[in-house]
Chain A
Amino acid sequence: MSDLERIHRLVDGECSAAEQDEAIRQLQCCAASKAEYETIGLLKETVSKCCKEVPNDELWKSCCKRLDAIDKSKRAESFISKHAWGLCTVFAAIIVGGAYLNRISPGNGLTPQEATQSTANLSYSAINPGSIGSWLQEKFGKKPIDVSANGPLQVEEGAYGTINGRRVANLRLRDAKGSLSLILVGSATGEPNKADLCETQVQSMNAVCWEQNGMSMMLVGNRQYDELKAIAGTIRN
């Protein structure tokens, strides 16, 4: 350690007891060291006395505002991290609930009346009874019903179209007692009784509805419900 360094340390109070004794001995026997010690002390005292603290209340207030903003964001972060599982559960419940409501909401499907009305403006063309299977396959990509070419129920003509994004077809059938309509809708009609046959009325005629192969069906005719159900039974098989 140099003498100069020791003097700075002595002025700054950074010497150990032993170093301090040695430094004081040095000051006593060396005038230059003593002058250095006193000058450093004088300078240190002057700087300390003249360089005062600088208050700035405005700046302090603006610091406090920033601290408030930090606290606010910390509180939000803490709330989210504390209740992350709860929040996730709530969101999951909202999604599941929404999906369920969407599924059961009647507004999303066609009612029997709407289905019947929607087919009214379609143009009909004759269908060869032997080719009904390929006609349905072409229109719906599957063959949802079985109407035998040689059975008691014959297909006379059919109409196909798209209503509100749903594929809809109306087949005009005939049996020994007269004509019937079979309306096929490419997705649920909104009727809750899925696979079961349910009775309804459209345009003052009896109708039975059911779902089959992911499609909704409605058989409409001027018949008793039991009779319609029996015919529906043959189509469903």
Chain B
Amino acid sequence: MLFRKANPNRDRFERMAEEAFPAIFGTALRLTRDREDAQDLSQEAIIRAYEAFDRFDGRNFKAWILRILTNLYINRYRQRQREAPTGSLDEEGAFEPVAENGIVPDRQLFDNLMGAEVEEALGKVPADFRTAVILSDVEGMSYEEIAEATNVPIGTVRSRLARGRAILRRELERFATQEGYLRTGLSE
């Protein structure tokens, strides 16, 4: 707006939010898997963050706003989407190995994967696990920040992350087999 009244708080918020916005919208897209929901969710998160900006501790704006976004997603969109509950798999200590039979997959396979293929595989990971993987591996958030964002204990974050990675790895392996990168799986 050309003649907007000077507001240092607003200017500071706008600078930080504009920089973080591609990450905000990307995370919203990966969480909701629906463009319209992602637009609503990101916009709502920006508004909430602006209204609560005086409570921002000044440390990591992106992690702070992603926490708001994730909370909103869990409280609103997640309930609406009615995904199947994760059940006992969600419990602390439910770890399973990501590598199969102690064999490291061929690096070439991972290098062959395109963004769209990884995004598709990520979309097949159940929501709670996917959220943990996105916040950790895409947005680089710490376990503590993920725990705050998702309102669960750190132990649950660890198990969700391990479980999510294991599922993601299997989805990628399935995709690689379908595409002919692998004949019967990564382990062979």
Contacts and interface: CB of A to CB of B under 8 A. Distances in A.
Contacts of A66: 43, 46-47
Contact of B165 (A43, A51, A56): A43
A34 to B, nearest CB: 8
A51 B39 contact: no
A226 B26 CA distance: 99
Given A14-B142, A56-B25, A63-B43, A47 B98 contact: no
A31 B165 CA distance: 20
A6 B165 CA distance: 15
B105 A47 contact: no
Contacts of B4: 68, 71
Interface string B48-72: 0011000000000000000000000
A46 B110 contact: yes
B47 A38 contact: no
Nearest to B10: A71
B82 interface: no
Contacts of B119: 50-51
A53 interface: yes
A48 B137 contact: yes
Contact of A44 (B29, B99, B137): B137
A127 interface: no
A45 B14 CA distance: 31
Interface of A: 2, 4-5, 8-9, 12, 14, 31-32, 34-36, 38-40, 42-48, 50-56, 59-60, 62-64, 66-68, 70-71, 75
